[in-house]
Amino acid sequence: MNRLETILAHKQREIEERLQTVSPEQLERDIQETLPPPDFREALRRPPGAPVRLIAEIKRASPSRGQMAPIANPIELAHCYQQNGAAAISVLTDARFFSGSLEDLRAIAALPHHPPLLRKDFILHPIQILEARAAGASAVLLIAACLSPASLRHLMAYAAELGMSALVEVHNEAELEQVLTCQPEIIGINNRNLRTFEVDPYTALRLLPLIPSPMIKVAESGIHTPEDAHRFADAGFDALLVGEALVTAANPGEKMKELIGVVE
């Protein structure tokens, strides 16, 4: 098995266990008792001449790097991101491979006036989207490499039904071609190959011209320096998703400013 296959096999088992213990009806009741989350799509929209938007990530670990940052207090880090102009915050909720949790997401969603939150996980089943919405997420990550076109359409539609956005992630031309038939509103291009976890920083630049202009475009992975950030911003991306460079920085707020300046 490659790394992605290993992760997906574990995630499928995890979902089966969750389905035995989680009540969809209770999650739906919880959702009805909460306010609608802030709009992820509009937060990422970049008007002409405006600075590139930043999705700042809460990320403790990864399969390629192992443990990167302890992040004992994700609320504190999220508050730092919020104070330094993050358009949205991505929260890793996978426990086994990324040391995250839905509790991190739920805690950050309790922050007053927080920006839109993205549940970043390997989403394979509607229950994960329902959990995300109940925990306060505005959006979920849907990875083309993990889903058939039919499953992708179904999960996109279910997210929309719950008032959420979907960040649909691709890694190559073949995935992008399939995804475009689903007409997503937000496309993320991940420079990291999920099967090998190697990063090619030019993947996003190669695929960008193939995406129709009305769609919101997000560059992911391999963004560490101001030169990296400006390269993607100048190419026309609406937003950058940055995790490792922020969580490993001595001062994440200053690192945000170093990468792209003060974000509106």
In the residue annotation, 169 being an active-site residue is answered as yes
251 is catalytic: no
Specify whether 59 is catalytic: yes
Contact 195, 4 (CB under 8 A): yes
Burial 185-216 (b: 16+ CB within 10 A, else e): bbbbbbbbbbeeeebebebbbebbeebeeebb
The share of the chain scoring above pLDDT 70, in percent, equals 99
Active-site residue, selected from the candidate residues 190, 191, 217, 244: 190
User: Which residue in the list 90, 138, 193, 221 is annotated as catalytic?
Assistant: 221
DSSP 8-state assignment for residue 199: B
255 as an active site residue: the answer is no
Examine the pLDDT at 263 and tell me if it is beyond 70: no
Domain that includes residue 195, residue range: 3-260
When the pLDDT of each residue in the chain is averaged and rounded to a whole number, the result is 94
- Of these residues, 14, 57, 131, 175, which one is catalytic? 57
Is residue 186 scored above 60 in pLDDT? yes
Model-wide pTM > 0.85: yes
Going by pLDDT thresholds of 50, 70 and 90, the confidence category of residue 14 is very high
Q: Which of 14, 131, 175, 220 is catalytic?
A: 220
pLDDT by residue (tens digit) across 27-72? Answer: 999 999 988 999 999 999 999 989 999 999 999 998 888 899 889 8
Domain count, the chain: 1
For the question of residue 64 being annotated catalytic, the response is no
Catalytic residue flag (residue 190): yes
Tens-digit pLDDT profile for residues 134-150? 999 999 999 999 999 99
CATH number for the domain harbouring residue 188: 3.20.20.70
11 as an active site residue: the answer is: no
For residue 262, is pLDDT > 60? Answer: no
